[in-house]
């Protein structure tokens, strides 16, 4: 295992759909999703050093050697570093390259001091289980991301189908917040028995700012710890995203930073 195998890189392996492939090389990991090419991490390299060390072009060439024959429209490099790596250490991407920064947080203390809103108290929080409920999961994802395109809906069918299979082999749960029969919020909390990671925390646009995400996070952590004990629990959010304040209030603190470089495959 690489010496800087940080928590996001570890937890990727059980927080992605069940048919995701992981191929270990000397200084990087190949991530591949042969059953669905329309996802960024499905054709990425997870690298274990600052890409500035050998240069961005070197890592693009490594990506091309692994993925260029697969007909994908974007290449992706992912690098995880210590939480407060100096910005000057990040290589400046060339034209056509998008740079995304995410922060990974770990639960450090109990979140039970938070007061539930009256509306949140009326919700039923439970694992998603039936075909109808999983259909609602995909529909809520379509609505929240508001793409309205078949390729995105196809992605959600594949993505949530793969995560459902993980829940069926006791690798966590997909949790729903139900108002009557309607799914108004959801998240995944997946694990490998020793660590756990949240995926896709989202609330229906018409039900936001009612404490739904907080209740989902608290209830799912309670259930996880009742099952596995006090295992590490992680959650990621894009740099500058509003949920950072929520996660801090729930007892999470930042433990690493993830940099994602997305580029044309023939760059």
For position 111, what pLDDT does the model report?
A: 54
> What's the structural domain count of the chain?
2
pTM of the predicted structure, to 2 decimals: 0.89
* Residue 142 sits in the same domain as residue 245: yes
For position 105, what pLDDT does the model report?
A: 92
In angstroms, the CA 113 to CA 149 distance is 41
Which residues neighbour 206 within 8 Å (Cβ) at sequence distance 6 or greater? 184
In angstroms, the CA 148 to CA 13 distance is 29
Contact between residue 265 and residue 66 where contact means Cβ atoms under 8 Å apart: no
In angstroms, the CA 30 to CA 45 distance is 5
User: Is position 59 within any domain?
Assistant: yes
In this structure, what DSSP letter does residue 225 have? H
User: Is position 2 within any domain?
Assistant: no
* Residue 171 sits in the same domain as residue 62: no
For 229, the domain range is 118-250
Mean pLDDT, to the nearest integer, of 222-250? 87
In angstroms, the CA 180 to CA 10 distance is 37
Percent of the chain with pLDDT over 70: 86
Residue 32: closest CA among 67, 68, 73: 67
* Residue 41 sits in the same domain as residue 88: yes
- Take residue 226 and report the two structure tokens written for it: 């009742």
* Residue 183 sits in the same domain as residue 243: yes
In angstroms, the CA 202 to CA 208 distance is 9
* Residue 77 sits in the same domain as residue 129: no
Percent of the chain with pLDDT over 90: 57
157, pLDDT greater than 80? yes
Contact between residue 117 and residue 212 where contact means Cβ atoms under 8 Å apart: no
Considering only 181-190, 217-226, 238-247, which range has the smallest mean pLDDT? Answer: 238-247
For position 2, what pLDDT does the model report?
A: 44
User: Is position 111 within any domain?
Assistant: no
Contact between residue 259 and residue 91 where contact means Cβ atoms under 8 Å apart: no
* Residue 147 sits in the same domain as residue 244: yes
Confidence of residue 1 (pLDDT cuts 50, 70, 90): very low
End-to-end CA distance of the chain: 30
Separation of CA 25 from chain center: 23
For position 89, what pLDDT does the model report?
A: 53
Residue 259: closest CA among 54, 63, 9: 9
* Residue 42 sits in the same domain as residue 156: no
User: Is position 1 within any domain?
Assistant: no
User: Is position 137 within any domain?
Assistant: yes
For position 214, what pLDDT does the model report?
A: 92
Helices then strands, each counted (H, E), the chain:
7, 11
CATH number of domain containing 130: 3.40.630.30
Confidence of residue 117 (pLDDT cuts 50, 70, 90): low
Q: Select the more confidently predicted residue: 237 or 181.
A: 181
Strand partners, 190: 172, 197
Cα distances (angstroms) measured from residue 104 to each of 12, 189, 194, 255: 12, 15, 17, 6
Q: Select the more confidently predicted residue: 103 or 5.
A: 103
* Angle in degrees, CA 102, 175, 177, rounded to 5: 105
Mean pLDDT, to the nearest integer, of 149-160? 88
198-227 burial string, b = 16+ CB within 10 Å, else e? bbbbbbbeebeebbbbbbbbbbbbebbeee
Q: Where are the beta strands (DSSP E) in 62-179?
A: 75-81, 98-107, 124-127, 172-179
* Residue 123 sits in the same domain as residue 43: no
24, pLDDT greater than 60? yes
186, pLDDT greater than 80? yes
* Residue 79 sits in the same domain as residue 155: no
For position 66, what pLDDT does the model report?
A: 95
* Residue 62 sits in the same domain as residue 155: no
Decide: helix, strand or coil at residue 133: helix
Mean pLDDT, to the nearest integer, of 173-180? 97
39, pLDDT greater than 90? no
Other CB atoms closer than 10 Å to residue 128's CB: what's the count?
Answer: 22
Q: What average pLDDT does the structure give for the chain?
A: 87
Burial zone of 163 (CB within 10 Å; 0-12 exposed, 13-18 middle, 19+ buried): buried
User: Is position 43 within any domain?
Assistant: yes
* Residue 46 sits in the same domain as residue 83: yes
For position 98, what pLDDT does the model report?
A: 84
For position 265, what pLDDT does the model report?
A: 82
112, pLDDT greater than 60? no
For position 148, what pLDDT does the model report?
A: 67
pLDDT digits (tens, 9 = 90+) for 46-105: 999 888 889 888 999 999 999 988 888 889 999 998 876 655 556 555 667 888 888 899
In this structure, what DSSP letter does residue 244 have? H
* Residue 66 sits in the same domain as residue 171: no
Considering only 17-26, 41-50, 77-86, 158-167, which range has the smallest mean pLDDT? Answer: 77-86
H/E element, 235: strand 233-238
């Amino acid at each position: 295992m690489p010496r800087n195998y940080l928590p996001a890189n570890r937890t990727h392996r059980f927080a992605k759909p069940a048919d995701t492939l992981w191929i270990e090389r000397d200084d990087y990991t190949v991530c591949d999703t042969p059953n669905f090419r329309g996802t960024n991490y499905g054709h990425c390299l997870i690298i274990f050093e600052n890409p500035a060390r050998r240069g961005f072009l070197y890592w693009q060439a490594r990506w091309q050697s692994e993925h260029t024959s697969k007909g994908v429209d974007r290449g992706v490099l992912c690098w995880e570093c210590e939480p407060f790596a100096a910005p000057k250490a990040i290589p400046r991407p060339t034209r056509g390259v998008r740079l995304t920064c995410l922060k990974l947080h770990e639960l450090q203390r109990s979140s039970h001091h938070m007061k539930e809103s009256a509306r949140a108290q009326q919700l039923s929080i439970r694992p998603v289980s039936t075909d109808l409920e999983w259909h609602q999961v995909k529909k809520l994802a379509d609505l929240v991301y508001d793409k309205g395109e078949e390729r995105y809906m196809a992605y959600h069918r594949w993505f949530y189908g793969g995560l459902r299979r993980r829940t069926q082999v006791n690798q966590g749960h997909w949790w729903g917040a139900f108002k009557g029969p309607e799914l108004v919020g959801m998240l995944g909390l997946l694990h490998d028995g020793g660590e756990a990671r949240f995926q896709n925390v989202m609330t229906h646009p018409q039900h936001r700012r009612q404490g739904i995400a907080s209740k989902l996070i608290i209830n799912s952590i309670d259930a996880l710890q009742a099952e596995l004990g006090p295992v590490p629990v992680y959650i990621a959010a894009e740099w500058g995203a509003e949920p950072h304040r929520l996660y801090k209030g729930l007892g999470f603190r930042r433990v690493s930073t993830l940099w994602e470089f997305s580029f044309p495959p023939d760059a």
